Amino acid sequence: MNKELNNLKKSILELEAVPRSDQVFAGANLIISDNQNRIKKEQDILVVTDNPKELSWFVFKLKEILSNDIDYINKYAFYPDIGNLLNSAISRELQLKDQLIYVLDNIGKFNK
Q: What is the pLDDT, as a whole number, of residue 108?
A: 75
% of the chain with per-residue pLDDT over 90: 93
Mean pLDDT, to the nearest integer, of 28-32?
98
Q: What is the pLDDT, as a whole number, of residue 110?
A: 54
Q: Is the pLDDT of residue 112 over 60?
A: no
Distance CA 101, CA 112 (A): 23
Q: What is the pLDDT, as a whole number, of residue 2?
A: 87
